[in-house]
Amino acid sequence: MERPPGEIAAPVTTQQAPPTPPEPPAPPVPPTEAIPGDRGRPRKKKSRFGFLKELPGLIIIAFVLALLIKTFLVQAFYIPSPSMDPTLKVGDRVLVNKLAYKFHGPSRGDVIVFSNPGECPEPHRNPVSAFFHWVTEGLGVSAPACEDFIKRVIGLPGDVVEERSGAIFVNGKQLIEPYLSKVRDTRTLPPQRVEAGHLFVMGDNRTNSNDSRFGLGQIPIDDVVGRAFIIIWPPSRFGGLAGGLRFAG
């Protein structure tokens, strides 16, 4: 359609759409989590007394370990008499190394434990009582029915041991013994040769010790249980047991 002459065309206005607001940032993606296999399943509540189920197994393991240690490694022994005073007092408990003489024999001055060389009948016990007595004996809590002995090695196989007015001579040389009781022994005993495979042992309390000089006699090396190396009870006497002997001069 044509406009009449002289008519002015009205300006055409274009209406623009309002600006689109920016989109909000996407929320952060949480890290991937492992989905446990039991998700969705009801979980069992842990009982406060669940450890009681494991207690019998722990007790059995403890007894087995005590068995192995007592049999092959170390055993505690109770001191019942004053024959080793002042080195060992009545009531002391010592640890004995059972492996000490597996590769070599005892040395002079060692404090050793050996089985009773005399006859000692065992009391009758039922299996349960015998087992618990065996465990407590190995821990040094109770004394064995047939008590072992603990003495100091003075003479080795082939040595000649002699006592002169309380002084001990081995192969004609006097021993220096600082560990002896203050009560001096003044006895004199003739020379004795130590037999093959045996030991001559004495207590540190020479006036109150049944040892190789008297009824105990010489001790077969095969009867030696081990070497006492430390006092573990009472705490006030905790400490090692020194071995070794020196000769005068």
The model's pLDDT over 130-181, given as tens digits with 9 standing for 90+, comes to 777 666 665 555 656 677 899 999 999 999 999 999 999 999 999 999 999 8
At CA 160, angle to CA 156 and CA 163, rounded to 5? 110
The confidence band for 243, taking pLDDT boundaries of 50, 70 and 90, is confident
For residue 226, is pLDDT > 90?
Answer: yes
Q: Does the residue 160 lie in any domain?
A: yes
Are 153 and 112 spatial neighbours (Cβ–Cβ below 8 Å)? Answer: yes
Q: What is the pLDDT of residues 23-63, one digit of tens each?
A: 666 666 555 555 555 555 656 555 666 667 777 777 777 66
Q: Does the residue 188 lie in any domain?
A: yes
Q: Does the residue 29 lie in any domain?
A: no
Cis amide linkage into residue 86, ω under 30° from 0: yes
CATH number for position 192: 2.10.109.10
Rg, the chain, Cα only: 43
Catalytic residue among 151, 181, 209, 212: 151
Q: Does the residue 197 lie in any domain?
A: yes
Write down the residue that tokens 């207690």 correspond to.
Answer: 55
- Per-residue pLDDT, averaged over 223-232, amounts to 95
The pTM of this model reads 0.69
Q: What is the pLDDT of residues 177-209, one digit of tens each?
A: 999 988 989 999 999 999 999 999 999 999 999
The confidence band for 68, taking pLDDT boundaries of 50, 70 and 90, is low
Write down the residue that tokens 């002015």 correspond to.
Answer: 8
Mean of per-residue pLDDT scores for the chain: 81
Q: Does the residue 36 lie in any domain?
A: no
- The residue range of the domain holding 227 is 81-120+146-247
Q: Does the residue 130 lie in any domain?
A: no
For residue 86, is pLDDT > 90?
Answer: yes
Our answer to whether residue 102 is catalytic in this structure is no
Is residue 149 helix, strand or coil?
strand
Our answer to whether residue 53 is catalytic in this structure is no
Catalytic residue among 45, 46, 70, 83: 83
Q: Does the residue 233 lie in any domain?
A: yes
Q: Does the residue 71 lie in any domain?
A: no
Count of domains for the chain: 1
